[in-house]
Every structure is written in structure tokens, then in C-alpha cells.
Chain A
Amino acid sequence: METMSGFMLLTFWLCAGVNYIMLRNMSKRQKGLLLGVTLPPEADALPEVQAIVKQYRTRLGTLCLVCAALSVPLAFVQETAIALTLWMLFFLAGLALPYLPLLRANAELKALKKAHGWQGSGCRMVDTGASAFALPKPIGLWTLLVPLVLCLLPMALPGLPRGLMLVCGIDAACVLLLWGLGRWTFRRREDMVTEDSARNQTLLRVRRLYWDRFWRLNLWAMALLNLFLILGYRSEAAILGLSLGFTVLLVAATLWMELSVRRAQAALTETAPIVADEDDAWLGGIFYYNPTDKRFLVAKRLGIGTTVNLGTWAGKLYYAFVGLVLVVCLAIGPIFGIVDSIPVRLELSGSAPVCLVASHGQSEKYRLDTDAITDVQLRDTLPDAARTWGTGMDHYLQGDFYVIGEGNARFCLDPTQKCFLRVEAGGQVYWFTGDSEDHTAAIAQALQSTVHP
């Protein structure tokens, strides 16, 4: 099994597991909602409702298990481009399919609700009393400061590769973004579901309390991950392992928070009659479509999540963008395959001075003056190396690499070949291959005669 495939398999299982837990959780009554439909408490005792919930759980469990099992053979596909294409397709299908039982159960429950005359008023509720009391304050500037410094500090380290500089910069921007989002989400006042202002306010406080925890956790996680990446950048496996481990922890913590909020929301509304009923605006219980609502972002009815209002032009634009991103994701594999099939080239060009030119297809990557070359070696193996900046494919490695035991070097080569040219010029080490092993050897011979006449 390739490292990438193993990583994808673990990531898929993680995502599918979270998907299953969240979807199954919707089959428990919370805030008067059952599978995305607002129902009165007496509905729970109806055999029809119980049958729908039971069928939903069975279908959901079966579908998730089948998807998890089908993902295993994918991990053994050898060719990276094909594996990547298959994984992207599988991720989309494997994470979207479990929503089908929800859509079906939601439609069945809505029909049952209509048949029993449990339709709500459809009015939008605003409880001014709930938001009038003192509420938890959003995260302050001091909370931002330490994680931001932790992200930016490694940039001051001497000799930090530019790839890691970029990582630090992106992480610092992410920390700023998270902080801004954290403050922004506190502007929203939701959870106006009962006639009791004190209860509505408690629901709001619970949401804000967990929002606060969520943003703080993310700020620190981003800063610590940045530090770990800087410390372990010399090994790609270490970076991969650290990222995966950290993601698992973060997802677990977020999941715990989400379920805690839902439990609190369920407990707070267990005995209170729910007066808010916006089922008509929630398509399939998932997508919010309400053209009369001017808000682009609205709070999800359960948990601490936020969703986009498809009824606004910005919402439509957002979903169009998401669709475009998904199409691009599906195209990544084929594009990867095309780029990987382009041969690397190596040639000596010009007369005086003669230059060693390394290219990928028609794109020139490195040009070295042969007069500046101080050492030429022909090696039959490529030492272990970790990429710090550039491209890493099955048949093409290009950019800055850290060679274990040797230090930094620049690559433009096909790692599947058996013959590698190692040159030193201007204190910098380069590793190259030509389009064939014979060609690489011929170039090496020509260079050796120039450097050591």
C-alpha cells in the first residue's frame, strides 16, 4: 500500500465515521426535531414514526459499512494518478450517499406530519428578550496574540526553507481568519424556538459557550500544528503523520463539542413546546432555502454549525463555487497523470559558455554554467529525501529537497530511473536525470571531462 493511499484510506474512514455519527444523531429528538422535521412530542409514540426512524438507522448503517468496505481495495491501486482520481470520486460518493436515507426519511416524516395536521405557523420567531441579557463576550485580542506569535516566530529562524516560510505565513493568516470568524459568529442571535425567553437565552448561551471553545481550540491547534511542522519538516512521513494525528484529535474534539451542544439543546427543550417551525425552508432537513430571509449565513437548527441560505444570490454563488471546487478536485487525478507522463530532459546547450539545462517537457527548470560546476558524480541510487518545496510525482521530482545525510539539494529527475547525476555548482547540490539512463550517463561523461580534464 502506498503512503498516499494509506493516508486517503484513513482520512476517508475518519470522514465517513464522523458523517455516520452526525447523521445517526439526527434520528434522536432534539429541539423538537426528528430527522430534520419539527414534530410534537406525542409523535414519538406513533408506530409509523418509529418505523421510519428504525428503517433510517438500518439503511444508514448498511450504506456506511458498504462504503467503508469498498474503500479498502482502492488503497492498493499502485498508479498515483489513477488512485487519486478514484479516491476523489469515492470521497464524493462515499460521503454523499449516506444522505440519501435522510432525504427519504425526511420526506416520509413531512408527509406524515401533513397527514396528522401538525403543520406549524411557518412564522419566523425573534425573541428580543433572549438577546437582551448579558451574553458571553466574543474572543478578545489577547486570545489571538499567542497563537499568532507561535505561527510567525519560526519565520525568524535562520535558513528556514521558503516552503516552510509560506506554511508559517498561511498558518498565521488562518489564525487571523479564525479569530475574525470567531468574533463574527458571536454577532448572531439564534435559538428562538420556545415562548420562554429565559430558555431561549440559555440555548443561546450554550451555543456561544461552545462557539468560544471551538474557536479557541482551533486557534491553538493551528499554532501548535505550525510548530510541529517546523520541527519535523525533514521527513515527509513525519509531516504526514503529524498532520493526520492532529486532524484526528481536532475532529474528535469538535465532534465532542457538537454532540455536547446537541445534548444540552435536547435537554433544554425536552419539556418545552417548540413554537418555531421552519421545516418548509429546510430542504431535506439539510439545505436552507428561504428567499424571504436576507441572511447569507444562518445557524443550523441543531448543534453549533452554520449553513448558507440558498435563497440569497450569495448563497447560490457559494454553492456554484463549491460545485466548481468539486469538479476541479475530480480533475486533479487526470491532470496529475498528464503532468507525470511528461519526460524530464537534460542537455548541454550553447558553445561558450556551455550550460547544463534541466527541463520538464518544454519548461526549463535549472540552467547551470558548466564552468561553475565543481563536482560531478554518477550514482545508481537516489538517497532518501524529503520535499520542502516543489513537485513530487511518481515519475517527476522537482524543487527543493532535504537529502537525508547530505543536506539541502535541488531535484529535477525521474526517480524510477537507475542512473542519477549529482552535480555541485556555486555551493548548491543538484540531482538530475535525462529522459533515459544512457542519456544521463552520456551527459555525466561529458561533464566529467569538462570539470576534470
Chain B
Amino acid sequence: MLFRLDFQSAVPIYRQIRDQVVLAVAQGELTPGERLPTTRALAEDAGVNVMTVSKAYQLLKAEGYLVTDRRAGAVVRAPRGKAAGLSADQTARLNLLAGEARLAGLTLDDFVAACKAAFGETED
């Protein structure tokens, strides 16, 4: 996968790495069982601290997108199946996004259409 790290952005680098891995898994770019580079290799390629990558991987592991193994390193985990709903954190982020869309002048239909398009991109 291709990481794009924006150092001018207010979003921390570890968060950018986490978000891009999640998106890549959702879009099928990263498949279950696929191995991610080691924290050291990714940190060296990206020119960032090893701790930054380690933090991103730990977050991904805690969220269930990765499993880590001593021999295999970080491996993409298979989807967990149907969830009961969005988590509190995800709901909060969706609320924020909906608020931003409303303030930007989007109608409900526009917002739903945008959500459908974004969701569609993650379908195989």
C-alpha cells in the first residue's frame, strides 16, 4: 500500500498511518493475512520515529484491524463480521462530520449521497 504522510497537517502522523491502514483494509487494498512492514522498516522509509509507527500499530491492534505475532510481525486481521452498530467514538466522529457538512451548506440528500459514495468505495 501507499502511505501519504502530510507533515503540514494537524492530524498526528501516527493517526494518519492508522487511518490509511483502516481505509486500505476497507477498500480491499490490504487483505486479511497480509503482512505489514515492521515498525522499524516503515519508520525508516517514512523518516519518522519508530515509536510513532509503533503507536499506530498498537492502536490498530487495539481496534482489531491487526494482529501482531513475534515471527510474522503485524498482520491484517479478517473482518469481525456484522457489528451491532457504530461504536461511541465512531458515532461521535460521524456526528462531527454531519455537523461540518451541514455548516458547509450540504442538504441531507447531498450528505447521504456522499456517504453512499464513500461506503460504495469500500465494497468489493
Most buried by A among B5, B44, B47: B47
| Residues in chain A near residue B46, CB distance under 8 A | 124, 126
Minimum distance in angstroms from B72 CB to a CB of chain A: 13
Main DSSP-derived SS at the A contact region: loop
A132 interface neighbour in B2, B4, B5, B37, Cβ under 8 Å: B37
CB <8 Å contact, B6 and A126: no
CB <8 Å contact, B6 and A123: yes
A197 interface neighbour in B2, B4, B7, B44, Cβ under 8 Å: B2
Number of residues from B at the complex interface, CB < 8 A: 20
Interface positions of B from 1 to 56, Cβ below 8 Å from A: 1-8, 35-37, 41-49
Interface 1/0 per residue, A125-136 and B, CB below 8 Å: 111110110000
Most buried by A among B36, B44, B45, B46: B45
Quick one: closest A residue to B24, CB to CB? A128
CB <8 Å contact, B8 and A125: no
| Residues in chain B near residue A124, CB distance under 8 A | 4-7, 46-47
Quick one: closest B residue to A190, CB to CB? B45
A367 at the interface (CB under 8 A from B): no
A292 at the interface (CB under 8 A from B): yes
A131 interface neighbour in B6, B7, B37, B47, Cβ under 8 Å: B37
* Size bracket, chain A contacts: 20 to 34
| Residues in chain A near residue B44, CB distance under 8 A | 187-189, 295
| Residues in chain B near residue A122, CB distance under 8 A | 6-8
A363 at the interface (CB under 8 A from B): no
A206 at the interface (CB under 8 A from B): no
In angstroms, Cα B43 to Cα A295, docked, is 10
Interface positions of A from 175 to 194, Cβ below 8 Å from B: 187-189, 192
| Residues in chain A near residue B6, CB distance under 8 A | 121-124
| Residues in chain B near residue A121, CB distance under 8 A | 4, 6
In angstroms, Cα B96 to Cα A350, docked, is 98
Interface 1/0 per residue, A187-219 and B, CB below 8 Å: 111001001010000000000000000000000
Known pairs A124-B47, A128-B3, A189-B41 / 16 extra A-B pairs, C-beta < 8 Å: A122-B8, A124-B6, A124-B46, A125-B5, A126-B3, A126-B5, A126-B45, A127-B3, A128-B42, A131-B37, A131-B41, A187-B44, A188-B44, A189-B44, A189-B45, A197-B2
Interface residues in chain A, defined as those with a beta carbon under 8 Å from any beta carbon in chain B: 121-129, 131-132, 187-189, 192, 195, 197, 275, 290, 292-295, 298
Can you report 21 A-B residue pairs in the complex whose CB atoms are below 8 A from each other?
A121-B4, A122-B7, A122-B8, A123-B4, A124-B7, A124-B47, A125-B2, A125-B5, A126-B46, A128-B2, A128-B36, A128-B37, A128-B45, A129-B1, A131-B41, A189-B41, A192-B2, A294-B48, A295-B44, A295-B47, A298-B47
Interface residues in chain B, defined as those with a beta carbon under 8 Å from any beta carbon in chain A: 1-8, 35-37, 41-49
